[in-house]
Homo-oligomer: A and B are copies of this chain.
């Protein structure tokens, strides 16, 4: 299972990040900006909530930290809400397994060899059925795992129970306090006679904690796999400052993940999010989409297909020209703000929809955000005395002007697709597979292949992740003949495209 040769490595140390404001040692508060800058698979609290809700309404108010629980084998090295929910969780995990074919395939391939034998992985991610499939895959590949939640709301308690019942040391429950959050992380890493040698992080909090509390641990750690925008950003800053002391793998920017999370996923979730919250009919609606990057492209394609009339705003002339060629009128927001029925932001920018525009929207206009954070719509500007807020449904507010005009604000300007729609397991499967492969690669890499730097996934690994997901579609890949490979100057097994191919 040697995946890469050193010549295929790609250092991304030189990738520049625009947002230089966050410094690693200024920790954002837990609930505030943290959750806002996360990528799609992270803080999807609301989505999982629905599926899990039937077991959540427990009236047991005791803190898990105050309980003594053991699983059926007498093991008590975990801290979760309620071990009795394990059966429910197991069913959720089994259902998720059906849509995560790549991880199941990895398990099969690794039945003989154990590429993670000896690996001690400490993880900090959302704890959901999909994560459980990942964890159990890592174990099947030979690893030992200890795990905490990266978000105080997103844990599916019954899944945590199933994992604990299965012997995993899990420390997480839905509704942790900030103090609980760090306590759980600490329980994962601070154990007599056990030291992690791999980190799987989502948001950088686990990495941060080890840096701060147990810097010596890095001597044994072979690498960090990080998934989130925020976490990756922190790693680049550490690297820049010369403080990164182990190799790190940036899973977030792999092409497979980007295309799925942004273009394909948003194409579906924009419709889903709008329908679930407003029941709006798309046909004939006039919509302005701010930003024509991958997210904007997905939103525009979906709405156009459903019969909406879509306008686009852009700052980048290349994306602007793409919008034109794709059949969208490129406008400035003020040119159409009076006439549109729906306003969607997908820019990653701040203050794209400001009070001035909100004042000029027509009655009933729906305003929502599909972009990077909650800064795109200036929601704060709507908190003025003359405007009345009316919560009409979960995630739906009517903001009412003195003359009776109502603006329909979704998710208070936070990400619509995280708050009001769900993320298909198939998308999460791609991320989880990439994480598993990144762990295997870093753990097995020969000395010297990776320096103390941040690496993008090699194209070949991206291609491998993609290939593991093709059977889901009953898709049959063509293989190059020797003659063709020679003609193209390619290895028959790839990589087939340059690294920058999207």
Query: Is the CB–CB distance between B351 and A315 below 8 Å?
Result: no
Query: Is the CB–CB distance between A501 and B333 below 8 Å?
Result: no
A267-B307, A327-B307, A478-B313 known; A487 vs B349 contact (CB < 8 Å): yes
Closest to A321 in B: B466
Query: Is the CB–CB distance between A497 and B268 below 8 Å?
Result: no
Docked pose: A43 CA to B392 CA in angstroms: 23
Closest to A273 in B: B275
Query: Is the CB–CB distance between A322 and B18 below 8 Å?
Result: no
Query: Is the CB–CB distance between B268 and A320 below 8 Å?
Result: no
Query: Is the CB–CB distance between B309 and A327 below 8 Å?
Result: yes
Query: Is the CB–CB distance between B364 and A496 below 8 Å?
Result: no
Query: Is the CB–CB distance between B324 and A281 below 8 Å?
Result: no
**A250-286 interface (Cβ within 8 A of B):** 255-256, 259-260, 264-265, 267-268, 271-272, 275-276, 279-284, 286
Q: Which residues of B contact A463 (CB under 8 A)?
A: 316-318
Query: Is the CB–CB distance between A317 and B464 below 8 Å?
Result: yes
Q: Which of A78-86, A131-139, A381-389, A420-428 contacts B (4 or more CB under 8 A)?
A: A420-428
Encode contact with B along A320-336: 1 for CB under 8 Å, 0 otherwise: 11111111111111010
Interface check A61, CB cutoff 8 A: no
Query: Is the CB–CB distance between A329 and B309 below 8 Å?
Result: yes
**A382-412 interface (Cβ within 8 A of B):** 392-393, 406
Interface check A470, CB cutoff 8 A: yes
**Copies of this chain, how many?**
4
Query: Is the CB–CB distance between B426 and A281 below 8 Å?
Result: yes
Query: Is the CB–CB distance between A18 and B489 below 8 Å?
Result: yes
Query: Is the CB–CB distance between B467 and A15 below 8 Å?
Result: no
A17-B489, A268-B275, A327-B309 known; A477 vs B318 contact (CB < 8 Å): no
Q: Which of B98, B475, B489, B490 contacts A363 (CB 8 A)?
A: B98
Query: Is the CB–CB distance between B283 and A348 below 8 Å?
Result: no
Q: Which residues of B contact A392 (CB under 8 A)?
A: 95
A69 smallest CB distance to B (angstroms): 26
Q: Which residues of B contact A469 (CB under 8 A)?
A: 321
Interface check A222, CB cutoff 8 A: no
Q: Which of A146-154, A298-306, A433-441 contacts B (4 or more CB under 8 A)?
A: A298-306
Query: Is the CB–CB distance between A19 and B489 below 8 Å?
Result: yes
Docked pose: A349 CA to B479 CA in angstroms: 12
Query: Is the CB–CB distance between A472 and B331 below 8 Å?
Result: no
Interface residues of A (CB under 8 A from B): 15-20, 47, 50-51, 95, 98-99, 255-256, 259-260, 264-265, 267-268, 271-272, 275-276, 279-284, 286, 302, 304-309, 313-333, 335, 339, 348-352, 363-364, 375, 392-393, 406, 421-427, 462-464, 466-467, 469-470, 472-481, 483-484, 487-490, 494, 496-502
19 contacts between A and B (CB under 8 A): A17-B489, A51-B393, A259-B321, A264-B281, A272-B275, A275-B275, A280-B424, A281-B424, A284-B472, A306-B327, A307-B325, A308-B327, A313-B478, A314-B478, A318-B501, A320-B467, A321-B469, A339-B474, A350-B487
6 residue pairs, one from A and one from B, having the closest CB atoms: A305-B305, A18-B489, A500-B500, A330-B475, A281-B424, A317-B466
